[in-house]
Amino acid sequence: MKKILVLLLTLVASAVFANELVDSFQARKAEALQRTGVEMATLSALELDGFPIKQIEKFEYFFDSKEFVIKTKNGDVCMGAFKNRKITFDCLNAVGIKTLQATGDSD
């Protein structure tokens, strides 16, 4: 009788905790999909502004502030923002010399 009761309690607890895990997973998945869409839009706008997106080694988008950081294959670091339908960015090489700068409309 005790084994059946323990088994029943274990099954109920597993179902409750699994539901919380599923909800958490779905929330993270929805956020990742939204983040991916915003990142793709930013990369598309960068490409329209003449940025060599094939040279991107690492791209990080800060969703809350709508800012991004890019590291290129040749070592340049670019910092920028995508706000009010405008994209602005500045790229600096390892020495700190500005190599690329753009401010423009994303249309």
Domains of the chain: total: 1
pTM of the model: 0.57
- The domain of 16 spans 2-105
Residue 78: partners with Cβ closer than 8 Å, 6 or more residues away: 51, 69, 70, 71, 72, 89, 90, 91, 92, 100
Alpha-carbon distance of 81 to 97, in angstroms, equals 20
Q: Each residue of 46-100: pLDDT tens digit?
A: 777 777 888 888 888 887 788 889 898 888 898 988 777 788 888 888 888 888 7
